[in-house]
Amino acid sequence: MRKLLLVKYAPEIFLKGLNKGKFERKLKDNIKNVFNDSKYDFVIDQGRWFIECCDLEDGIKRLKRVCGVSEICVVDEIDSNMESIKKQALKSVFENEGKTFKIVTKRADKSFPETSMDVSREVGAYILQNTEKLTVDVKKPDFFVNIEIREKTYVYSKRIKGIGGMPYGTNGSTMLMLSGGIDSPVAGYMMARRGVQLNCVYFHSHPYTSERAKEKVKELAGILKKYTGSINLYVAPFTKIQMGIIENCREDELTIIMRRFMMRIACNLASKYNIDSVTTGESIGQVASQTMEGLIVSNDAADRPVFRPLIAMDKVDIMDVARQIGTYETSILPYEDCCTIFVPKHPKIKPKVEEIRKAESVLDIDGLVKEAVENTEFFN
Ligand code: ATP
Ligand code: MG
């Protein structure tokens, strides 16, 4: 008998029609990538994907980082005969805590003498005879025992939820504005989880923001990399722009003008490196600069779609995801961000496009953006 991991992918991939093959291939490559430094085997049996590895727990951990994997099941591969099937099914019920179960049998090997229904019935009866507190519930069981009969038979009951979503790299690309805060890493993760290829840009105001703040952002990009395999991080110098705004613009308009510069640089880098869109960690109403009017004025500076996957999420829910993906502990480390250094006492909460365009026109916008893009550092 061998133990294997059965990998199931998001039902959405089944809906892809003619493109299904493309999505499956990408997912397969991504799974192979997370195992590339370990000894493993990728086994395909009639459309079913199995991973054979020495350390199952480690294998599960790896698969839980792959976007598009919806479920991981620990499977026992046994000989195809009723005696072995019954014994193995009985063993597998002890992996569950529920009180009601259902047997689901699939018979791919039609030469097996009994029908699926017969197998389910016989195995169910055997489990009832050999346990005390379990009952069958075919409508809403606490757990399933799955039996798949092929040349060999696969029995499984333990299911582990994967992160779901779509295979990474199947849905275009985005430039994530990655600050050191809680929100933007979560926004990046959510895009990656839907298959969007991630690149990050961080605006660094040396010496007002320390080297340590930059290291923190690199660390966050490193955590996101667990889900993406690789990640490009661009660090754009922002001090000159920030000082220019502070010296030439009204205090209550500092934040919104600064945001527009960030947006322009992000778009410029996106254009330079062939990246389709921009993503931010903004959430409507969260702070003064994230009002509807504020977001509209920021968008006005963009030349491509700007995505805000957290737009309708509450902070507590964003924090939950941050904990779950492992960025929270790093995000809360107390290093300053360029937005937290020069915060106006009363930022404008209802800025208007025309008004802000006029206010910023005293600056050499194109020159400043060009210089920042030219001096951007690259890490991966
Ligand atoms: P976060 O937790 O992501 O920092 P926040 O709630 O602190 O978000 P803001 O500081 O207003 O909100 O920033 C809003 C968004 O602008 C961020 O989510 C991020 O996408 C982007 N952003 C802000 N500061 C920077 C920066 N220094 N570098 C890159 N992006 C930034
Ligand atoms: Mg922030």
Q: What is the pLDDT of residues 281-326, one digit of tens each?
A: 999 988 888 999 999 999 999 999 999 999 999 999 999 999 999 9
Q: What is the pTM of this model?
A: 0.93
Distance CA 305, CA 83 (A): 60
pLDDT value, residue 339: 57
User: What are the C-alpha distances in Å from 266 to residues 238, 297, 299?
Assistant: 12, 15, 12
Residue 129 annotated as binding site: no
Closest residue by CA, ligand 1 atom 12: 282
Which atom from ligand 1 is nearest to the alpha carbon of 286? 6
Residue 153 near residue 77, CB atoms below 8 Å? yes
pLDDT value, residue 46: 80
Q: How far is the CA of 337 from the centre of ligand 2 (A)?
A: 7
CA angle 189, 194, 195 (to 5 degrees): 95
Spacing of C-alpha 274 from chain mean position: 22
* Ligand number with the minimum distance to the CA of 185: 1
Cβ of 186 less than 6 Å from ligand 1: no
pLDDT of residue 105 exceeding 80: yes
Average pLDDT for the chain: 94
Cβ of 288 less than 6 Å from ligand 1: no
Instruction: Please state the length of the chain.
Output: 380
Residue 306 near residue 278, CB atoms below 8 Å? yes
Q: At how many degrees (to 10) do helices 56-63 and 20-34 cross?
A: 130
Segment 164-215, tens digit of pLDDT: 999 999 999 999 999 999 999 999 999 999 999 999 999 999 988 889 999 9
Closest residue by CA, ligand 1 atom 23: 179
User: What are the C-alpha distances in Å from 115 to residues 76, 88, 135, 157?
Assistant: 21, 18, 22, 20
Closest residue by CA, ligand 1 atom 18: 281
Cβ of 287 less than 6 Å from ligand 1: yes
pLDDT of residue 32 exceeding 90: yes
Segment 129-152, tens digit of pLDDT: 999 999 999 999 999 999 999 989
CA angle 257, 262, 266 (to 5 degrees): 150
Which atom from ligand 1 is nearest to the alpha carbon of 186? 3
pLDDT value, residue 336: 67
Q: Is 127 helix (H, G, I), strand (E, B) or coil?
A: helix
**In the block, residue with structure tokens 């014994």:** 87
Q: Is 310 helix (H, G, I), strand (E, B) or coil?
A: coil
A 10 A CB-CB count for 379 gives 15
CA angle 339, 343, 347 (to 5 degrees): 115
Q: How far is the CA of 212 from the centre of ligand 2 (A)?
A: 15
Q: At how many degrees (to 10) do helices 365-374 and 239-248 cross?
A: 160
Cβ of 339 less than 6 Å from ligand 1: yes
Segment 218-266, tens digit of pLDDT: 999 999 999 999 999 999 999 999 999 999 999 999 999 999 999 999 9
Which atom from ligand 1 is nearest to the alpha carbon of 238? 27
Closest residue by CA, ligand 1 atom 11: 289
The average pLDDT across 5-23 equals 86
Model confidence band, residue 108 (pLDDT cutoffs 50, 70, 90) = confident
What secondary structure letter does DSSP report for 364? -
pLDDT value, residue 55: 94
pLDDT of residue 69 exceeding 60: yes
Distance CA 129, CA 139 (A): 21
Q: How far is the CA of 194 from the centre of ligand 1 (A)?
A: 21
pLDDT value, residue 337: 65
Residue partners of 250: CB distance under 8 A and separation at least 6: 359
Segment 323-371, tens digit of pLDDT: 999 999 999 998 766 556 667 778 888 999 999 999 999 999 999 999 9
Cβ of 189 less than 6 Å from ligand 1: no
Residue 281 annotated as binding site: yes
